[in-house]
Structure 1
Amino acid sequence: MIKVGGAGAFAAGLAGCLGGGNGDGGQGTTTDGGDGTTEGGDAGTTEGGKTTQSGDSLDVGMVYATGGLGDNSFNDMAHKGIKQAKSEFGLSFRNTEPGNPTEVGTLQRKLAQSSNPNYDLICCIGFVQADPLARNAQRFSDQKFTIVDESVDQPNVASYRFKEHQGSFQVGHLAGLLTDMDFSAGKGKTNGDLTVGFVGGKETPLIQKFEAGYKAGVKHANSDIKVLSAYAGAWNDPAQGQSITNSMISNGADIVYHAAGGTGTGVFKAAQSKGRFAIGVDADQSKTLPKYSNVILASMVKRVDEAVYRSAQNVQNGSFKGGTTQTLGLKEKGVAAVYGQQLGSKIPEDVKSKLQKSRKKVVAGDISVPKKPGKV
């Protein structure tokens, strides 16, 4: 079901991943025609189809990936960016959440057709937005759009992409170094089997970049390490994520990295129950999911918040650049490996030093990170 809401909450930091989402939602109807109410600058909420908004300046419409808000990951990082822009610019924004991919184009279209408010910018979050946006951008040629995690070649669309494979290389390098040593911290412990795992949401070219980078990083530490890979087929199925991870742990994996949205919660649950480790994605998940911080070694964060914030700022400043794509990697600090808040201090300094060195080599181009798992 399509959800429509107002402003949300967040702070600033490093971030993000998944451009897809749970495709299992049913066909929904929208209560939104752009006619939300404004309430004195406070954050808005969604309840029973009611829409509230905040601020009184720029008007921004948000169309999230189909995993929805509350994923403690990709969508929530986008939410963080627009909330930061609201705080700094006093803008108004409306949140819309498609229940499945077929609803994405409808929400884009409804926001573009709105006259109350007349949206200055529509932010489309996730790669699933690309095809419908290519059509809607042509149809509404005077409307400014931003897309995050994909590129749409239209003069009224600003595109933001990330070098997820580079950030994934870093957490893969970390996993490879730690699985190759006797390491214990929090609730986790390595087992000496030289095996780690990767759990993806849906098997798309974007998520394959995470897998490829992770595998390359692991192999950079030790080419003898085995990497188990599996895809859940969904972005919001923690039970499936837990089942896959339990299987990987049974087959020797002691560190599992996920790029699976809400499905990743199951990865953390399995690691915690089995006394192994996990690596988060998009946001610092040791903070967004603190109950699992005793097994989260690190997170590969993507600055989805920065992309959303920059786009709103550019419209505010009159410097919106449609027809362009900005790609953010390690060099641009668009992706990064961030140590877990509880376990980060337990990671040996020589491991951290090796990660710093490999990061510099990736930035300098001395290490070329593959984008496809088959190229590892």
Structure 2
Amino acid sequence: MTDRQAETGGSADISRRTILASGGTLATATLLAGCLSGDGGDGSDGGDGGSGDSTTEVAIISSPAGFDDNAFNDNAVQGLEEASEEFDLEYTTVEETEEAQYESVQADVAESGYDLIICVGDNHTDPLTTNAEEYPDQNWMLINNVVEGADNVSGWIEMNNEMSFLAGVAAGVMTQQEFEYEGSSTDPDGSTVGFVGGEDIPLINAFEQSYIEGVEWVDDSIEVLTGYGGSFSDTGATNDVAASQIDDGADIVWHAASAAGGGVFSAAQEAGRFALGVDVDQSVTEEQYQDVILGSAIKALNEATYTVSEAVVNGNFSEYVGEQNLSVEQGSIDFVVGQAFEGELPDVLTQNIQDAKEGFENDEIELTCGPTSC
């Protein structure tokens, strides 16, 4: 044991339309053009957005993982669901999993007259750089990056590096604990953990490196096995990677694979080991695996989409233009214990997580990677 361880929808009267985007076109473009509230074909309503006298229309375009991922995309939609219950606001989900189509899909949605268009994920950055200029009166929200110099884009950068670090702290602490629960157990003599990413891209590479640094912050002798499934939707591929890591000694595996993360959970469940969730409390969203999800590293993305939507409703979107952040210091990045393990995990985990959070708040922890790349 190390010294550090020893120390320690919408409501019933709100219509929700789902549009599936494919091949650069909107499958229900006629519906979009005919029923939305914008005044101009460029998506503009002449200013910051909603006037308060009419329904505010918001569209959200998915990341490549798509909706129903029980993680990143769904967390963003949750904020719109909350906003639709609070305000005269309707939202439309536009699922597009092909990154090559983002520029045309963004443009198609902008032509349809929304007060706000939300683009989920860094994959949208380059296309939005073009479309923000092409549609200067359109209010945009970009998640996981910012468009420099654009006065019509609210760019939200979650401190994914801080979130990943907290996951690493949790894995590092628990792999050195002797812990059992309903047929699953750790192997404290092995001190090996795993990481499974979705696509092997700079964003997820930053997740990986920050996770490793969180593990090493606990004890730099812990081995970290890493691998990638190749997509954000293929659960079979992530299952194979996680199973291989578990065979090689990992007793806890964290994923940054969005919808594909279910494969990591199933691998842990099948092998009698444990896993950690990402973005949201996945012991709730992936309840069938709650018996192996010790906890989740989370970010309050729903608060961001709610905040920007509210700003459009109130006509003060301009206050959120430019770079905005979600961080530990703001209380928007955290680690939560899985619902099956409340009151079951050792106090040393709570203490280490708290120490790490205070380290970020006091600028005592320096990470190799930023929130979106290394």
TM-score, normalised on structure 2?
Answer: 0.85
Contact 2:173 2:218 in 1 (8 A): yes
Alpha-carbon distance change, 284 to 187 in structure 1, aligned in 2, over 3 angstroms? farther
Counterpart contact for 1:298–1:344, Cα < 8 Å: no
Over residues 187-227 of structure 1, what are the superposed CA-to-partner deviations in whole Å (9 max), with x where a residue is unaligned? 42112211000001112222122112211111111111000
Alignment pair present for 1:300 and 2:309 = no
Counterpart AA for 1:344: E
Q: 1:7 aligns with which of 2, 8, 16?
A: 16
Alignment-derived partner of residue 315 in structure 1: 312
Deviations along 1:69-90, whole A, 9 cap, x unmatched?
1100011001101111111112
Looking at structure 1, the residues matched to 274 and 57 of structure 2 have their Cα atoms a distance apart, in angstroms, of 43
Q: 1:263 deviation in Å?
A: 1.1
Percent of aligned pairs with the same residue? 34
Which residue does the alignment assign to 1:261?
258
Distance 1:219 1:372 in 2: 18
2:27 aligned residue: 31
Asked if residue 111 in structure 1 is aligned to residue 109 in structure 2, the reply is yes
Q: Tell me the secondary structure at the aligned position of residue 257 of structure 1.
A: strand
SS of corresponding position for 2:194: strand
CA distance in 2, matches of 1:137, 1:187: 53
Cα displacement (A) at 1:143: 0.7
Cα offsets for 1:15-73 (capped at 9, x unmatched): xxxxxxxxxx97464223323659xxxxxxxxxxxxxxxx9611111111121111000
State whether structure 2 residue 77 is matched by structure 1 residue 72: no
Which runs of structure 1 show a deviation greater than 6 angstroms over 4 or more consecutive aligned residues?
Answer: none
Indicate which of 219, 226, 237 corresponds to 1:240: 237
Q: Structure 1 residues 184 and 372 mapped into 2: Cα distance closer, same or farther (>3 Å)? A: farther
CA distance change for structure 1 residues 252 and 36 in 2, over 3 Å: closer, same or farther? farther
Worse-matched range after superposition: 25-34 or 174-183? 25-34
Q: Does 1:97 align with 2:83?
A: no
**Counterpart residue type for residue 79 of structure 1:** V
Cα distance in 2, alignment partners of residues 170 and 101 from structure 1: 29
**Partner in structure 1 of residue 192 of structure 2:** 195
Tell me, what secondary structure is at the counterpart of 1:71?
A: coil
Q: Is the 8 A contact 1:201 1:259 kept in 2?
A: yes
Q: Does the alignment pair 1:81 with 2:79?
A: yes
* Mapped pair 1:142 → 2:137: yes
Q: What per-residue deviation string (whole Å, max 9, x for no partner) do you get for residues 200-256 of structure 1?
A: 111222212211221111111111100001111100000001000110001000000
> Quick one: which of 235, 248, 268 aligns to 1:271?
268
Q: Which amino acid aligns with 1:313?
A: E
Secondary structure of the residue aligned to 2:339 is coil
Structure 1 unaligned spans of 5+: 1-5, 10-24, 39-54
Listed as ranges, the gaps of 5+ residues in structure 2 are 1-14, 37-52
2:164 is equivalent to residue 168 of structure 1:
yes
Partner of 1:355: 353
> Is 1:67–1:262's contact at 8 Å kept on the other side of the alignment?
yes
Deviation at 1:334, TM superposition (A): 2.1
1:156 aligns with 2:152: yes
Distance (Å, rounded) in 2 between the aligned partners of 1:316 and 1:235: 33
Hey, what does 2:176 align to over in structure 1?
180
Q: Which moved more, 1:316-325 or 1:207-216?
A: 316-325
Moved more, 356-365 or 183-192: 183-192
Distance 2:160 2:115 in 1: 29
RMSD: 2.3
Amino acid corresponding to residue 266 of structure 2 in structure 1: K
Give the counterpart letter for 1:227 in structure 2.
V
- Residue 327 and residue 289 in structure 1: after superposition, are their counterparts in 2 closer, same or farther (change >3 A)? same
Contact 1:60–1:122 (CA under 8 A) maintained in structure 2: yes
Letter in 1 for 2:308: S
Which amino acid in the other structure matches residue 127 of structure 1? D
Distance 2:169 2:181 in 1: 18
1:303 CA drift (Å): 1.6
Distance 1:372 1:37 in 2: 41
Aligned equivalent of 1:337, options 328, 335, 339: 335
> Take 1:26 and 1:157, find their aligned partners in 2: how far apart are those partners?
24
> TM-score, normalised to structure 1's length?
0.84
1:21 matched residue in structure 2: none
Kept in 1: contact 2:200–2:228 (CA 8 A): yes
Whether contact under 8 Å (1:279, 1:297) holds in the other structure is yes
**Residue aligning to 1:16:** none
Mapped contact 1:234–1:263 kept (Cα < 8 A) = yes
Deviations 1:288-330 (A, max 9, x none): 0111000001111122211111111111122213641012110
Structure 1 residue 8: Cα displacement: 8.1
- AA aligned opposite 1:329: S
